Amino acid sequence: MDFPKYDGNIHPDEWINDIQKYLRFLNINDGDCLKIAISFVDPIITLPNRIDSFEKLRNALREDISFKVFKCTNKKLLELLKYIPEKEGGNTSKFISNFRKLCYNSEINDIGEQKNYFCYALPKLSNVNGNNCYDYFLEFIKRWEKIKSMNDLINEIEEIVSIESNLIKNESIVALKHVSTGKYLSSIENLCYTTGSKLQLVFSDSQLVPDLNALWKIEFSNELATYNKTSICLRHIKSGKFLGLHYYYYYYTNQSKAYTYYKSPITEHTEGKKLKAFYLIYHQLK
């Protein structure tokens, strides 16, 4: 295969290392390797007359104006680099690879400067929807002091992305497990209370692994739920019915009415009352 010429569009260190490996692979005599490498430098780049080592060739390429332009170009590309979350079609691995390559090409080796550029690349939240989206920028800032190297930076962004991917979002599918008993909030389509509302009932199932009867879809209006601020609905996956509290009202005077809930004729508990241990506001399918 033909080895590419050096024309100023690759880092000199990378090109020198690659051509040395290439010539060794071809079993070229060491005495001829340098001459061949020099012949692969584009004529637009002027080299000193006496270059008798690869190190001098490397230095000559670095001193050429093309290398200054190359570094400035890569620095501008680094400033324009933006992280696109994977849920929006982005590729974290490719983004990190591009970021590292641009830092290498522009010779940005200081970790403080690298962190600054990385911050610029992360999504910024607007004041309008900032409370309802995952804040990559804020999460990165929280980890700022822990990052002492490029490896630390990559580890932290991987953790941030991993946390975001596990957050419960609108239409997430979940199973609700009671902490102390290990039972799952479940329901079976068309299995109804025999008294009271006679609607589809909910119960706690002691199965080790939740089946389809124990799966629920969370629905709310925003991208992410905010603790103590977002109202959510739970829809049973198999039956498609919502979890809710069924009540009825009765007149106790000619003009006044009161609301109450159906209760068990045996225990006097509200239908599904034991399910309050799941910390849910609603506990019956409608």
The predicted pLDDT at position 274 comes to 35
Same domain, yes or no: 58 and 71: no
Same domain, yes or no: 155 and 82: yes
Domain extent, residue 206, equals 173-278
What is the rounded CA–CA span in Å between residue 37 and residue 19? Answer: 7
The predicted pLDDT at position 256 comes to 61
Q: How many domains does the chain have?
A: 3
The predicted pLDDT at position 73 comes to 98
The predicted pLDDT at position 281 comes to 33
Domain-ending residue, one of 40, 63, 86: 63
Beta strands across the sheet bearing 233-236: 173-174, 216-219, 233-236
Same domain, yes or no: 185 and 234: yes
What is the rounded CA–CA span in Å between residue 45 and residue 57? Answer: 12
Higher pLDDT, 286 or 91: 91
Asked if residue 6 belongs to a domain, the reply is no
Nearest Cα residue to 82 out of 90, 73, 93: 90
Q: Does residue 280 surpass a pLDDT of 50? A: no
Asked if residue 1 belongs to a domain, the reply is no
Same domain, yes or no: 106 and 181: no
Same domain, yes or no: 29 and 100: no
Asked if residue 4 belongs to a domain, the reply is no
Same domain, yes or no: 273 and 178: yes
Same domain, yes or no: 109 and 158: yes
The predicted pLDDT at position 71 comes to 98
Same domain, yes or no: 105 and 183: no
Asked if residue 286 belongs to a domain, the reply is no
The predicted pLDDT at position 202 comes to 82
Domain-ending residue, one of 142, 166, 190: 166
Q: pLDDT digit string (tens) for 74-115? A: 999 999 999 998 888 899 999 999 999 999 999 999 999 999
Nearest Cα residue to 23 out of 42, 38, 10: 38
Asked if residue 3 belongs to a domain, the reply is no
Residue type at position 220: F
Long-range contacts formed by 257-263: CB under 8 A, 24+ apart: 262/193, 262/195, 262/196, 262/197, 263/196
Give the model's confidence band at 197: pLDDT under 50 very low, under 70 low, under 90 confident, else very high: confident
Higher pLDDT, 275 or 24: 24
What is the rounded CA–CA span in Å between residue 276 and residue 243? Answer: 12
What is the rounded CA–CA span in Å between residue 269 and residue 283? Answer: 13
Q: pLDDT digit string (tens) for 107-122? A: 999 999 999 999 999 9
Higher pLDDT, 42 or 269: 42
What is the rounded CA–CA span in Å between residue 240 and residue 201? Answer: 13
Q: pLDDT digit string (tens) for 37-63? A: 999 999 999 999 889 999 999 999 999
Higher pLDDT, 34 or 269: 34
Q: Does residue 250 surpass a pLDDT of 50? A: yes
